[in-house]
Structure 1
Amino acid sequence: MQPIFITGIGTGIGKTVVSAIITEALEADYWKPIQAGIEEGTDALQVRSLLSNTKTMIHPEAYTLQMPASPHIAARAEGREISIPVLIKSQPSTVNCQRHLIMEGAGGIMVPVNDNEFVIDLIVALKAKVILVSRNYLGSINHSLLTAAICKQKNIDVIGWVFNDQYLDYENEIVQWTGYPKIASIPFVENVDKSFVLQQANLLKDALQKLL
């Protein structure tokens, strides 16, 4: 199966929660290729804590970096350089290719992974489909349209949008302007837990399956 890469319009937009919901909905495997910042725990550990199904495998990161920064900066601080060929070789294979593999990116789609390549270059190299995450805030229309524009420029196979949080009612306008469908709109809650993730996974499962 073609892997599904979760990316979005920036940092702190809810990619990890959306990754958990999509992983739960598909009973897929999960992989975070690059983890930058580990002091408060990793995204993989958070996803593991939010899943209810027993089929998902959480695969280890290819790069785990101490500094909570852009991957190229975090790697440079440790005297390392992130290599896309290494990431390709590290990509997990799902059992008999019968399960989807959900990959979670670092930051937004144009975050640098090294001095010359970006998250979008990793997506192309991994031959992944993409789910775009947009969090509703002042300025997110601009960030969402710019993200969609670079996806079209690079001929990325975009499945659709998952919107997160509430601000104003313009999700349908982003869908119309970009031409990418809405998979789901995740409401804001103070505490995200297993029951919330399972509830949201069940709500979007049918819509997601139709788009895959």
Structure 2
Amino acid sequence: MIGLFVTATDTDIGKTIISGAILAAIKNRGINIGALKPLASGCISNNDGVLEAEDATFLMRALDFPESKRTEVNMLALEPALTPAVAAKVSGITINMATVMEHCYKVADSYEAVVVEGVGGITAPLIDDYLLADMIVAMNLPTILVATAGLGSINQVVLTAEYAKQRKINLVGIIINKYDENKAGILEESNLEYMTRLTGLPLLGKFPMLKNLEITSPQLGKIAEEYININEIIKMMELK
């Protein structure tokens, strides 16, 4: 599998926004790229009563994918807004990770590369004691850590990076989401300096707050090129 895994220091940090931005930028360069959000919780029923993941919808929009691609991008949508292991139990569903991984590899074979978005933080339980970290290890993809620059972010980033190192996850860089250059002060600037110095990881981007979630793929890709080091990410993915 060739691609990139996107994780974060916590939930609601911006994995989906950053994943979509990277996807749109790479697509706009003419590369045949796919998206995977294998497991999603907190999903909402559409008019036909089918559960849909908003995260998957955004990734699909980033690639101009039709609705028919939804189950490819997101094979399992869970309604409870809980970590997948708990959401599945509450829903009476058994998650088979072998099936999930088989799906991911099959999808990846259809593209030059894929961007895989995780769920929650790196230790989010997917089934029982099988964590998101276990999935990342199994996929063996270069992994980007999405974080914010607010108070407490140094601790979150350093602890996540240390755990990733312990698990031998190939963490390749940090992208800061919801970053406002005009409002950033000593707090944000010093946090970024400490994050990179204490983890040894490069800062691959400072992405602004994205207010329009219905942005088109070309527009999203253009913003990504401005705020994220797409060249370096493509190099890390070993795309030719």
- Give the TM-score normalised by structure 2: 0.78
Q: Are 1:115 and 2:120 matched, yes or no?
A: no
Structure 1 partner of 2:97 = 84
| Aligned AA (2:118) | G
Deviations, residues 24-53 of structure 1 (Å, cap 9, x unaligned):
122221011101121285211112223469
Deviations, residues 48-69 of structure 1 (Å, cap 9, x unaligned):
2234699xx7624232111111
Structure 1 partner of 2:174 = 161
- Give the TM-score normalised by structure 1: 0.88
| Aligned AA (1:148) | A
Q: Residues 207 and 86 from structure 1, CA distance in 2 versus in 1: closer, same or farther, beyond 3 angstroms? A: same
Of 32, 47, 60, which residue of structure 2 is paired with 1:48?
60
Moved more, 60-69 or 5-14: 60-69
Structure 1, unmatched stretches of 5+, are none
Of 187, 194, 198, which residue of structure 2 is paired with 1:173?
194
Q: Report matched runs for 1:53-202 at 5 Å.
A: 59-93=72-106, 99-166=112-179, 168-169=188-189, 170-192=191-213, 193-194=215-216, 196-202=219-225
Contact 2:142–2:236 (CA under 8 A) maintained in structure 1: no
| Separation (CA, whole Å) in 2 of partners of 1:157 and 1:20 | 21
Contact 2:35–2:73 (CA under 8 A) maintained in structure 1: no
Structure 2, unmatched stretches of 5+, are 28-32, 46-51
| Separation (CA, whole Å) in 2 of partners of 1:24 and 1:186 | 14
RMSD: 2.3
Q: Residues 87 and 16 from structure 1, CA distance in 2 versus in 1: closer, same or farther, beyond 3 angstroms? A: same
| Aligned AA (1:44) | A
| Separation (CA, whole Å) in 2 of partners of 1:60 and 1:187 | 25
SS in 1 for 2:82: coil
